[in-house]
């Protein structure tokens, strides 16, 4: 067997496996969204909505205003900011003055660990008045029925956690479109496949987490030195005997003006987070890049007729899967950006390869070192805090 033939066989296997993956993605997406989930309007318990903030994202005022304009009987919003000089504070003060009854702002929150987000949430949790909790990211925008829809699954006492997927439906730049493609065409379908294969949801997406104080305490509470804490919390909820539900409500993430570098940096962080939290499962993603494998197959076979057919078939099935995602996720404003799908697929492979190595990630202006099981430490001048102490003169 020649080396060239060996590569042909490997690439052919990877391409065919990826075609199966694309078809499964289309099926899983259609199967999940074929029935629209109706919110239970007779289940509306008081809610404490907690939002950790770091910096001022694009569209921040509009995002936070959407939380304050919920069509929901009783809820409070608690914003938390670590630093007193954070540029978000004046905007949040304006919001709390405008909605003084429901919005409260907490600042100067000393970190309890390397995960500043969960550290802030712990401070807010201590101030929360209600049993039902919503943890939400600061860079999402919601509709007025957000709370009513995401709380609905908790009407079932066996459900301990509800989570939501998110996409950016209105990209304004190539970077934003590429980011939205990754979420809409790859992440959400993959999550739905995992739901089918696992016989239920065993993960969570940190953009929105809905639970009860009782369930959170039962699972061991928040942890302050872990990246991928959303995934870990879902695992602990399931291990505690409760169920995790994926809401049909799709969040709008404000990625409007992101650059390609922003997207790549963040997705490398996500990739390494997945690797350290899920171990060998990460390498199963090798079967997700069929369009790139088919192009490589085309090259190594010297554009043979059968390879041309395989390449065209792979591209066609990939675009069919993408169309399913756009329609099911109601994201028509992604149509004009479909020309950039090959770039998205190429970057996905590169990011996956980079995610397979290395332990350092960049998160909100900080470099972090990831250890086994997603434990993180701050890095200072190339060292962790412990190492930096040893290298002091």
* Arithmetic mean of pLDDT, 256-268: 88
In whole angstroms, give the CA distance from residue 243 to residue 175: 36
**How far is it, in rounded angstroms, from Cα 387 to Cα 190?**
38
Q: What whole-number percentage of the chain has pLDDT above 90?
A: 82
- pLDDT classification of 244: cutoffs 50, 70, 90: very high
Q: What is the pLDDT of residue 373?
A: 78
Q: What pLDDT is recorded for position 366?
A: 87
- Across the range 208-225, mean pLDDT stands at 96
Which residues have a Cβ under 8 Å from the Cβ of 240 and sit 6 or more positions away?
Answer: 160, 215, 218, 219
**What pLDDT is attached to residue 4?**
66
- CATH level 2 (architecture), domain 39-264: Alpha-Beta Complex (3.90)
Confidence (pLDDT) at 379 = 74
Q: Residue 253: its pLDDT value, please?
A: 86
Q: What's the confidence (pLDDT) of residue 29?
A: 97
Q: In the Cβ-directed half-sphere of 260, how many Cα atoms lie within 13 Å?
A: 8
pLDDT (0 to 100) of residue 371: 85
Q: Which of 210-214, 274-278, 279-283, 371-375 has the highest mean pLDDT?
A: 210-214
Task: Average the pLDDT over 25-49 and give the result.
Answer: 87
Give which of 317, 318, 315 is closest to 185, Cα–Cα. Answer: 318
Res. 384 pLDDT band, cuts 50 70 90: very low
Per-chain mean pLDDT for the chain: 92
Of 12-21, 45-54, 189-198, minimum mean pLDDT range: 189-198
Q: Are strands 208-212 and 159-163 parallel, antiparallel or unpaired?
A: antiparallel
Strand boundaries in the chain, DSSP class E: 47-53, 75-81, 103-106, 132-136, 140-141, 159-163, 166-167, 208-212, 243-246, 251-253, 360-363, 366-370, 376-380, 383-384
Q: In degrees to the nearest 10, what's the CA dihedral of 12, 17, 21, 22?
A: 20
Write down the pLDDT at residue 141.
94
Model pLDDT for residues 338-381, shown as the tens digit of each residue: 999 999 999 999 999 999 999 999 887 889 999 887 889 987 64
User: Can you give the pLDDT at residue 37?
Assistant: 65
Strand, helix or coil at 221?
coil
CA neighbor of 22 nearest in space, from 313, 382, 265, 376:
313
Q: Tell me the pTM.
A: 0.91
Query: Sheet containing 166-167: which strands, arranged edge to edge?
Result: 140-141, 251-253, 166-167
Q: Note the pLDDT tens digit of each residue in 159-205.
A: 999 999 999 898 989 999 999 999 999 999 999 999 999 899 999 99
CA dist 334 and 143 (Å) reads 20
Domain residue ranges in the chain: 39-264
User: Span 319-328, mean pLDDT?
Assistant: 97
Q: How high is the pLDDT of residue 34?
A: 87
Task: Output the CA angle 188-337-247, nearest 5 degrees.
Answer: 20
Residue in 145, 160, 128 with CA at minimum distance from that of residue 50: 128
Give the tokens for residue 391.
């290298």
> What is the C-alpha to C-alpha distance for residues 164 and 158, in angstroms, rounded to an integer?
18
Q: In what order do the strands lie in the sheet with 366-370?
A: 360-363, 366-370, 376-380, 383-384
């Amino acid at each position: 067997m020649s080396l060239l033939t060996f590569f042909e066989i490997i690439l052919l296997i990877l391409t065919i496996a990826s075609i199966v993956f694309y078809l499964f993605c289309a099926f899983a997406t259609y199967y999940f969204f074929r029935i629209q989930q109706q919110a239970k309007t007779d289940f509306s318990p008081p809610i404490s909505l907690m939002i950790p903030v770091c910096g001022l994202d694009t569209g921040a005022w509009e995002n936070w205003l959407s939380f304050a304009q919920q069509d929901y009987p009783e809820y409070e919003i608690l914003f938390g900011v670590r630093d007193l000089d954070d540029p978000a504070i004046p905007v949040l003060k304006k919001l709390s003055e405008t909605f003084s009854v429901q919005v409260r702002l907490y600042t100067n929150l000393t970190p309890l660990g390397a995960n500043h987000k969960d550290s802030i949430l712990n401070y807010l949790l201590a101030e929360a008045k209600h049993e039902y909790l919503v943890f939400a990211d600061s860079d999402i925008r919601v509709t007025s029925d957000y709370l009513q829809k995401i709380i609905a699954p908790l009407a079932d006492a066996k459900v301990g956690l509800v989570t939501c997927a998110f996409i950016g439906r209105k990209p304004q730049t190539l970077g934003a479109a590429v980011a939205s493609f990754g979420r809409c065409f790859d992440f959400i379908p993959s999550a739905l496949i995992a739901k089918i294969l696992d016989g239920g949801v065993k993960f969570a997406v940190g953009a929105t987490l809905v639970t009860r104080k009782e369930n959170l305490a039962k699972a061991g509470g928040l942890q302050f030195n872990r990246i991928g804490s959303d995934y870990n919390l879902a695992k602990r909820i399931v291990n505690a005997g409760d169920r995790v539900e994926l809401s049909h409500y799709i969040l709008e993430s404000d990625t409007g003006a992101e650059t390609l570098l922003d997207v790549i940096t963040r997705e490398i962080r996500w990739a390494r987070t997945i690797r350290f939290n899920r171990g060998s499962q990460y390498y199963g993603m090798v079967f997700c890049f069929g369009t790139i494998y088919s192009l490589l197959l085309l090259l190594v076979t010297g554009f043979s007729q059968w390879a041309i057919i395989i390449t065209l078939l792979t591209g066609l099935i990939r675009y069919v899967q993408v169309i399913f995602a756009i329609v099911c996720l109601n994201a028509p404003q992604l149509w004009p950006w479909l020309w950039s799908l090959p770039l998205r697929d190429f970057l996905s492979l590169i990011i996956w390869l980079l995610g397979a190595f290395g332990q350092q990630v960049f998160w909100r202006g900080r470099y972090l070192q990831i250890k086994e099981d997603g434990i993180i430490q701050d890095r200072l001048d190339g060292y962790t805090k412990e190492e930096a102490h040893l290298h002091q003169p």
